[in-house]
Structure 1
């Protein structure tokens, strides 16, 4: 009897869209599949900022446990939510073709930008970059799935909230009133979907190889190597973006203080053939120019919150 691949996913609308995209791709290749939705702790506890949990992978741990206890065979994640070190026995099996990497501001009018304003986001990276550009603004915490966050923006007196463009586009929720934040450096692997499998599961790993998009995979791994070398975890104020054009990789990465007052940035280009260790080298440049001390301050600040 042919094996049915059980696909684990969070149960939000966006997560289900991602899982169904993988399901459709596998079924086109002739595989039988089944969706297995689960709730993560990050979805259940919405009254605390992510960094207060004190752990990385708050959205992925439940699926890791489900896989290791044989409840599911593979799991689909927004790659930016995945810790740079996977649990023992779980491996990356495919990075799908990357979508839009940019952040956008969903707003109620942009008059406030040159005055005082209140912006909502649950991301330290977005908060730090917003305060770096708009130090006179207030940034408030915003948690929940995409639909919940849009509703909270509607229900509160905030001027706007920051979202990943890809998430809104995927479930057709991009509103009319938004601004592309081209100046904001995205999270490492933003816009990318990752499928993981058990290391010992040759059947699923072989099935997923066909879904891997090589160019996207190269770029997100450079960004995640940059993140891992800075020891940022998923919630530190770190942005990174690698793009391939004309056989060259163009990389931009930055580390910010939590209040946005400090910014350490690196921008470099290399041939695609020389990508090995590129993310690490860029991160080491940041660490050597004050980043090591800034990372210590960030970790101490989060610990004391």
Structure 2
């Protein structure tokens, strides 16, 4: 895998990543998904904390599932806020659909309609008396009339499997239900890019699996989905591509198997290899899995390969 020391320059794609004319993966994905969001040389510093990000290059394609992975405090949330247009980079360029981020009120509104962010804590987003009213806020703010707003809200609630919660007050819901409502509120604005900060934090294993399946379905429908997490097991199971953070930048970017095979890099970044990946890697090295087959990313896939033998 091609990667750099965390203190060095911009990351290059890991071996086997989607073809691209540059390290960020700009252009078309193998499946034909166009580049919908791109960061070039982004840098950012907080007044008190100092420099958080520098020289960040990243691109995102339609229908892609991208994971931003790294230890707590590595800059993942800050990058999401920059991509969403809620922070202004100190240096570098942001482009959506090939167009640079503008500063006019109209340009800002257009960016927020195209790129949606779901915060880690749903209580930071939910405020209306009912779920329906909360999810309606975005479309109404975009200028949709009542009929179109209802259509969008109904679609978003159905996509998240919470149509039955429409008239419930958000404060009466479970944490997992609140998570889904907060995602529906962004989804109702029909963004091309959906950014989520630690979406499975605080959820039990079953709720985590259900939510990741929902996000995969959204990506399959053409939405580019970005998940920031420090949970490597989820990254291994879910991502098309992983960007690893370290030293205030992205130090490696590529397919999950290529990323996680670099055990020395994971150790440098204080990250652990995913449990299922580690088991499958050792089984493959011992000749207990069919040769030449990609490592399985679910328990079911692993058991299926084991049943085939060598």
TM-score range relative to shorter protein? under 0.3
TM-score by length of 2: 0.27
TM-score by length of 1: 0.28
More strand by share: 1
